[in-house]
Structure 1
Amino acid sequence: MGLCCDGTGRVLKNAFPIKNTPDGIDFTLSVVEKMCRKHHINKQHVFFGGEDCGTFSLNFAYNLREQGFPVIGVNAGDAKKLRENVQASTDGLDLLGIANMLINMRGGAAGGEIGALRALRSLTRHRRKQVQLQTAGKNRIHQIVDQLFPGFLDEKNSGIPPFSETSLYLMEDRFSAADIARRRDKALLRQFHAKGLQHAEKALAKLKAYAKQVLHHPPELTGLLQTALASEIRLHRCINDNIAQMHREIAQQLAQTPAAMLTTIRGIGITLASGVAAEIGPPEAQPSLRRLSSYAGIIPRTKQTGGPEKSPVIGSVSKRCNRILKDYVVQCGNHLGQHGPADLHEDHRRRGANGQHADFGMARRFLRMAMRLMRTGESYVPPEIRDNATVEELRAWYLDLWPKLLDKWVKAGAVHTAFHPENPLGQWRERIQDIYEIELPLPKKK
């Protein structure tokens, strides 16, 4: 359904149906043409808006953009509050609520801004769903293994790392404690070596000894459970391959954006850098740090009433936020505290010792760093080196950073894309080599 209003909220054309087809686009544009001609409205002042749409209507919004019109998306819950009648719900009332949101300039680009980071968001969210499927599959595998061979997926018991190639090999065919105990040591040992298991002889002895200690399940269920487990292992391998492929695609896409500079922070890898960058958008469109922190749900709510002499009441963080962004930035905060540079590690420890939520505090600090690195195209440098370091100290810092940074991109299979002279990291590498007269070598192309 559509509704035409002017900038004051005056209805120019009452609610009318629109089809999500090419004919619907043509009809909508013809209505706009007639309204502009009738009311002497400049087409440059026309824009479209609606509630945040599902994927089925994204192409409709994109086609309107191709015609040169801005398309705005608004939150359905907020639009409901601005309806003239909160008791009833009709097409006309709902559309008027959306119109009030648009007039009050409350909304964002429907479907996100088209560009490299928009494509990156699609990839990272798809990978996130794949990881959730992987976790669900692992839980089902645990349930079956707990019946066929209790404790097998605990390396302390079996000596086999869970979900390693050796573990998957054993589980995908004739798997049970009794079957493992009966298998020939020589054949198993040969397979353990082929799968790259370290200390294979010791692990085999431990596995065989443990297989004789566990309780056995009813024999009538063995075949059914083994069939179910084999199908879950095949699915697990397929999802693993999909996640690996998505990771490579994400790395290739991230390498072409300013967000690639986030990987220069120790403890932040391809997955976290791409996830955060995809959700906060391009540098030129990012809001203030305070608004972004609120959007990520990592700052507490405040309520103040009763005059200026009354102190504000600090509440909990809002549940209404971008949960995906919150997950990524809180993980970043934790990684900085566990694996980050010394100054960030110490800041995380200090916040925790003071009774603060250390991960949330470091997440806010990470957002501030991320926004700056994306805007300036520079790498992270600790304050003690950035402020008073000599040229020799800076040279030593970059030489120490380079192997770690290179390793992240080599493992992702995108090292030559990332350090191509036209991409941000490649431009940064050339600047550092020229300024400090050092060599930051790249691996040879295969």
Structure 2
Amino acid sequence: MDNEYYIKYIESNLYKVSAFIAGIVFILVLSASIDSWLEKLIINTQIRFSIYGATLLIWTCFWLFYKYRLPRNKKGKVGIVVAIHAETNNEEIRLKNDFISKLKENINKEKCGEVINIIVLKNHFSEKLDDIGKGLRLHKNIKGHFYVYGQVKRRSDGEKKYFLKLEGLVAHRPINIRTQDFLKKEFVSILPKQISFFETFEFKGFEFTADIVYLAARYITGIAAYLSGDPILAHEFHSNLQGEFNKFQPLPPHLQVIKNKIPALLSDEELIIARHYYFRNEAGNLKEWLDKSLKSNPNNYGGWVLKAIVDFLPTLDNNPDTALESIKRARRYASATHEWRYSRAFLYFWVENYIEALRDCENLKNKSYHSEDITIKEVEDFNLQLLKENPGKIQLYFWLGYINLIKKRNLPLAYKYFSKFEEKADQTMDLLKQKSNVYLSQIKSEMKLK
């Protein structure tokens, strides 16, 4: 322990100018003391002095490297930078042996270790990092993504106690400033502002702190991956995370809030993965990830909308009635969005329930929501593909005409689809024909057609 203490003492003070001067003096004294002996081996005075000068130069370069050189995050890794300043050598040894080692152990025991790179700053760098501005300046060289910084002190409070003060900084790319602010708030919310424990429990105290930082790292890195468009990596970070929270009994309130968010996060990630497989026509993987999504969060609106598609598609479950039931569930969890109305209107057209289909059309006329244009494009592409495979579903031309007239205001396309509908419609579609006649007259009037 004594050797470790003295080595740490030298490391902790090596960056100081006094240490540099001491090194110079030591080299000069050593050179003077061995010069008479070295003269017997190397007679040439110029060569001997060159050796002494080279030694001084090596020491100077080493000292400058130690004092100013910052570690740099590895390319392709999520860098988590730990910069906790310790007042004394003893605190620094405890921090390194207990806190840092436990944090690395936690990271490496999961797949996270393949993605995360833990960067521990030397104590003299950590001392400078006491606000966000300084942290961002250091970030220019380190290129980390998340920073945990603060102080560890040992004080008497009846008995000797350790006090840890922790702060968080997010500098993740490629995400916008607003998203960075959101990540920072989430990161800071999971990190305790201050932790204290008696010296007699220092090992458990440092491990407890490492466990919290580990949870924060997994949680925030997963969200950042999700927002950066990598739901598979996000899912790897968040899966089994709820179980990690069970280490804390009782669970602190701020951690309970985070734990409660995990099911919805997992569900959204699983839904994006399911949609990925949907567009790749991989039915098995699509159903597997969709089932996971709805199991993680049975109230996932988007999950039920996608399930309705899976229920309906002839190449999948081929059950429009079950699809309508899924849309009922989606409607229950919708807030200010109306994708479910497009899905339900389509399904009613498909099963030839034209009264209900027209009722949904009328409701859609007065509804709008964010990113509705994306929904409209997906609906149009979906219906055109179905018409290629099912040319007898003439009523879908009416539906396409309506979308182009009311929502897109694309009169030429609306005219084309309504005309095709009227050309092929039979007497079972008289209700729709009455409407299409009116719409065609309206289009002709607006386009000044005869």
Normalising by the smaller structure, the TM-score range is under 0.3
Q: Which has the higher contact order (CA 8 A, sep 6+)?
A: 1
Output the TM-score relative to the length of structure 1: 0.27
Higher helix share: 2
TM-score scaled by length of structure 2: 0.27
Larger Rg: 2
